[in-house]
Amino acid sequence: MTAKMVSGNEAIALGALRAGVKVVSGYPGTPSTEVITSLWNKDLPGTSVEWSTNEKVAFEVAAASAMVGSRAMCTMKMSGVNVAYDSIIGIAYSGCTGGLVIYVADDPGVNAGMCEQDSRDFAVMADMPMLEPGTLQEAYDLTQYAFELSEAIQSPVFIRSTTNVAQSHGMADVAERVLPVNEKPMLERNIAKYTKAGAVIAMNQHRELLERLEKAKELIAAKQLNRLKLSKQPGGLGIVSVGVVNGYVEEALSIADELRIPLPEISSLQLINTIPFAVDEMKQLLKHCSTVLVAEELEPLLENRLYMEAYKLGVKVEFVGKNDATFSRIGEYDAKLVLKGICKALHLTCPEEVLPPVIQPEQHCAARPITTCAGCPHRGTYMAINKALRNLKFKSNEIIVTGDIGCTILGINPPFNTLWTEVSMGASIPMAQGFIYGGVQKPVLATIGDSTFFHAGIPGLINAIQHNVNLTVVVMDNGWTAMTGMQVNPGTIPDYQQASCRQLDLEKVIAGLGVDHLITVDPYDLKATTAAIEKSIALPGVKVVLARRECAIQAARRKVAYEPIEVNIEKCTRCKSCIVITGCPAISLGEHAITIDRAQCNGCGLCMAVCPTAAIVKEGK
Amino acid sequence: MSCDIYIVGVGGQGVLTIAEIISSVAFKKGIPCNFYPTKGMAQRGGFVKAQLRLGRKTVGPNIPQQEADLVVSMELSESLKAIRYVKPGADFLLYGSKWEPTAVMLGKASYPALAQVGKEVKAAGGKLHYLSPELLPEFQGKQVRDNLFVLGAIFGSTGVAMGFTAEEVLEDITHRWPKAAEQNLFALRAGMNAAAKEAVDDILV
């Protein structure tokens, strides 16, 4: 073992390597992405690592590898579980042979956008164990244990982290990778296990599933992974916590010490997982304590279970947690919040230092809506959509433009203010159809990025084509899964695909579906892109405008040459058109003229296209 | 010894680089350290913060309100988001660079004045150290990286005890970027010397 500086996600990756993982698949999504990026382009003979088309595909790839005996893991953010769940629950009922681990990262406090969902509820529904590391060391250790547990119960196992664990960096003791066991794949044609053919099979699987979860509970208890500490005197306070909150509880006790808050001896149950419920340990604590404080982020899963166990035991315990509104189901925790709960549970007056200050200086903070990077091709597309709608004499509040997930969603923000909706991967096209079915008479547009289109956009477009909807879809192809930090997708150029992988041509894919009209444009060409959108809106049927240009960040990284832009100070009238229309972060308003930050500018030329005095020009021209 | 540091700024300023250097030096010294960056969509000029928790074995990643032993802000307006975290009496290093959002540039939105930010820091009990971006020096005709300049200022102006010295940070930086060692050391030293020169009360007028 050597101490290494790792992030939570890296610890998960290293834990899987230590466990001899043979297949790692996933789809990028903050805060889970770095598990696979930390393995990307590493020399790992015997192990396949891939970014799959979507989370469901990633899970199915991993699941079947585990069916034939390999250890396999797939990774995703919480929203990805929603996508993969149809297969996850199916495989949970079937079980597996090799260790099968699903890593999901939740985001209490919403650092990265999307729903603040508690994925533990998915473990409840599929009766699957879900381990919840609260430290980097636990992330490493529990990942290895997840594979062991999965093989011991012959069922997939979740690992769930939260943003603050996944993204934290610190020390962990890690060991060398263990090579995957390269035995002959175990072929087993077992209809009763691997299909859902008939009620008998399906209900048998349900029974076995419940038995497997029960077995997991016993194994975790036998390994004493959950830490139960009872006070010498019965009665008094017990604290139940799980995952990252375990650390906040300990910290809360040390703050209490510093503030000289007189605390009696406290019992505690620190859990490494919610599901399967550690019922035996819960019962011991409930029999011992008169008050129980439950500290868990998001939904009150442990708390509700503890109420039930107390009822079954017939013990009278006072609960402090979410049901009495001490804690919120929204946002992430910290030590002072937990300490506030401890004070309440002990009927102590909470010292002023523990309560949040009444000052709210951040209300005076300048709003900083994020926009597309300098040189982003999406800027050209949104400028063109807005211009096309103006040219066609539409008002901005009468044309619905649906948005989708990824960098393209920046079209909701100023200066574009183009998009109306953001729901889930691929939702833009079916929603546009729904608006039309709902009676919207004016044209409806859908926008979607390349990776999102491959992920879940294609079925929606097929649906629109089949049902002959009059719809304009703008597919913004920058060649990368960019928002999550530049991962490859099926459309990424071959140079960046893994060896033996190839690129799919998005234009051929769309044409192959049979859309009525397809126009491919370069979004740096504002005139042509505007004209293509205008033309598409006027045409009948399903029209796709494919706006293609590589992500500026990636183009710059691989040193794609461009012509720098400069400002003719004599001609610039400081009319601000370039700033108002493009919102490009490279442009700022100088005293005598606008200035362009050469470090950011990549010469896209969109500001030139909107300058009314031709003051912005390509350098030397 | 424990030391909690809360750093804020805007994507592109090097908030995370500062935090990474501190955590790397701590790691080499065997000081327990948890570094929790929150970058959101930082690459695109958004809000960035880093929480560093040094010297504690068991700790949650989030610094509770009024518990930071040191707050560092690299952007004037974003400073306001960090104020509630400063421990009364603890250091608040404010590097006053301004990254004005477009709406502010166009005169459509307001941007907080330095005096206003200073007052808020003081009201929260923070010990304000102001570092003017005008002090950012040039090295061979080019302005130095302000993240290293600010990192230097942490050592020059604040009394925060991280468990290591500026010299050990210099060493880390030298190994990290051997080719740019000379200019980086220059930037760090400039920060150390520039700090504490400003009369804090002047900015509150």
Q: Give me the DSSP letters along A360-372.
A: -GGGGSPP----P
Q: B204 lies in a domain?
A: no
Is there a domain that residue B84 lies in? yes
What value does the CA radius of gyration of chain A take, rounded to a whole number of Å? 28
Q: Residue B149's pLDDT is what?
A: 95
Asked whether the beta carbons of A532 and A521 are under 8 A apart, the reply is yes
Minimum-distance CB partner of A368 among B24, B84, B101: B101
Q: Do B45 and A167 lie within an 8 Å CB cutoff? A: no
Q: What is the mean pLDDT of chain A?
A: 96
Which single residue is written with the structure tokens 């007052």? B119
Task: Give the residue on A whose Cα is nearest the Cα of B44.
Answer: A373
Q: Do the Cβ atoms of B60 and A360 come within 8 Å? A: no
Q: Give the pLDDT mean for A87-116.
A: 95
How close A91 gets to chain B, by Cα (Å)?
33
Q: Hey, of B29, B58, B102, B172, which one would you mutate to test binding to chain A, going by the most A CBs within 10 A of its CB?
A: B102
Locate tokens 């770095």: which residue? A34
> Is residue B201 in a domain?
no
Q: Is B12 domain-assigned?
A: yes
Cis peptide before B133 (omega within 30 of 0): no
Q: Do B101 and A367 touch (CB under 8 A)?
A: yes
Mutate to test the interface with B, among A132, A365, A577, A607 (most CBs of B within 10 A): A365
Contact between residue A608 and residue A568 where contact means Cβ atoms under 8 Å apart = no
On whether the CB atoms of residues A139 and A165 are closer than 8 A, the answer is yes
pLDDT in tens, A391-405: 999 998 999 999 999
Model's pTM, two decimal places? 0.96
3-class SS of residue A513? helix
> Does B205 reside within a domain?
no
State whether A171 and B33 contact (CB < 8 Å): yes
Element (H, E) at A49: strand A48-51
What is the per-residue pLDDT for B101?
Answer: 87
Beta-strand ranges (E) seen in A62-156 are: 72-77, 100-106, 130-131
The helix/strand/coil state of B6 is strand
Contact A411, A403 (CB under 8 A): yes
Q: What CATH number has the domain bearing residue B156? A: 3.40.920.10
Unique residue bearing structure tokens 């396999």: A72
User: Nearest CA of chain B to the CA of A94: how many Å?
Assistant: 38
Q: What angle do CA B21, B6, A29 make, to 5 degrees?
A: 75
Q: Give residue A105's pLDDT.
A: 98
What pLDDT does A248 receive? 96
Which two structure tokens, joined as six digits, stand for B202? 């002047």
pLDDT of residue B107: 86
**Tens of pLDDT, residues A439-466:** 999 999 999 999 999 999 999 999 999 9
CB atoms within 10 A of CB B83: 28
- Distances in whole angstroms, Cα of residue B171 to Cα of each of B157, B178, B188: 20, 10, 11
Q: How far apart are CA A340 and CA A344, in angstroms?
A: 6
Q: Read off the pLDDT band of A203 (50, 70, 90).
A: very high
At position A358, the amino acid (one-letter code) is V
Report which of residues A550 and B108 the model is more confident about. A550
Residue A183: per-residue pLDDT? 76
Q: DSSP readout, B61-110?
A: SSPPTT-EEEEEESSTTTHHHHGGGEEEEEEEEEE------HHHHTTSS-
Quick one: pLDDT at residue A396?
86
Query: For an interface test with A, which of B56, B58, B85 has the most A Cβ atoms less than 10 Å from its Cβ?
Result: B58
Domains located in chain A, CATH noted: 2-223 (3.40.50.970), 227-354 (3.40.50.920), 377-557 (3.40.50.970), 565-618 (3.30.70.20)
Confidence at residue B106, expressed as pLDDT on a 0 to 100 scale: 84
Evaluate whether residue B152 is within a structural domain.
Answer: yes
Domain membership flag for residue B203: no
Total number of domains constituting chain B: 1
Q: Could you tell me which residues come within 8 angstroms of residue A467 by beta carbon, excluding any fewer than 6 positions away?
A: A433
Q: Could you tell me the two tokens for A378? A: 């999406």
Residue spans of beta strands (DSSP E) within A63-147 = 72-77, 100-106, 130-131
The residue type of B15 is V
* Beta-bridge partner residues of A318: A291
Q: Does the structure's ipTM exceed the value 0.90?
A: yes
The alpha-helical segments, DSSP class H, found in B63-195 are 79-82, 102-105, 114-123, 146-157, 166-176, 181-194
CB < 8 Å to B143, chain A? none
Task: Give the residue from A490, A512, A516 showing the smallest Cα distance to A502.
Answer: A490
Q: Which of B53, B79, B57, B77 is nearest to B67 (CA)?
A: B53
Nearest residue in chain A measured CA to CA from B87:
A353
Tokens of A445: 């547009």
pLDDT in tens, A341-374: 999 999 999 988 888 777 788 889 998 888 899 9
Q: Give the span between the Cα atoms of A603 and A173, in whole angstroms.
A: 47
What residues make up the domain containing B137?
Answer: 3-196
Below-70 pLDDT ranges, chain B: 40-44, 195-205
**Across-strand partners of A170?**
A6
**Cβ–Cβ below 8 Å for A362 and B33:** no
CB atoms within 10 A of CB A413: 17
CB nearest to B80's CB, from A248, A362, A414? A362
Question: B85-117: per-residue pLDDT in tens?
Answer: 999 999 999 999 999 888 888 888 999 999 999
pLDDT tens track for A124-173: 999 999 999 999 999 999 999 999 999 999 999 999 999 999 999 999 99
Q: Specify the length of chain A in residues.
A: 621
- Residue where the block lists tokens 């629109």: A464
pLDDT surpasses 60 at A5:
yes
- Candidates A370, A378, A574, A587, partner chain B, best to mutate (most B CBs within 10 A): A370
Burial of A93 (0-12, 13-18, 19+ CB in 10 A): buried
The bridge status of strand A616-618 relative to strand A565-567 is antiparallel
- Helix H or strand E encompassing A483: none
Check residue B105 and give its pLDDT: 85
Instruction: Please state, for a pLDDT cut of 90, what percent of chain A lies above it.
Output: 93
Q: Nearest Cα to B106, choosing from A245, A588, A19?
A: A588
d(C-alpha A121, C-alpha A615), whole Å: 58
Q: How far apart are CA A107 and CA B97, in angstroms?
A: 31
Tally C-beta pairs within 8 A across A and B.
154
B-chain CB neighbours of A5 within 8 Å are 23-24, 27
Q: Which residues contact B30 (CB under 8 A, 6 or more apart)?
A: none
Distances (CA, A) of A145 to A159, A495, B81: 10, 37, 40
For the cut 80, the answer to whether the pLDDT of residue A484 exceeds it is yes
Residue B121: what are its φ and ψ, rounded to 5°?
-60, -45
Q: Residue B118 falls within a domain, yes or no?
A: yes
Phi, psi for residue A495 in degrees, rounded to 5:
-55, -30
Residue A501: count other Cβ atoms within 10 Å of its Cβ: 13
> What's the rounded Cα separation, in Å, for the pair A9 and A103?
10
pLDDT score of A368: 87
DSSP string for A211-254: HHHHHHHHHHHHTT-SEEE--SSSSSEEEEEETTHHHHHHHHHH
| Mean pLDDT in residue range A111-120 | 92
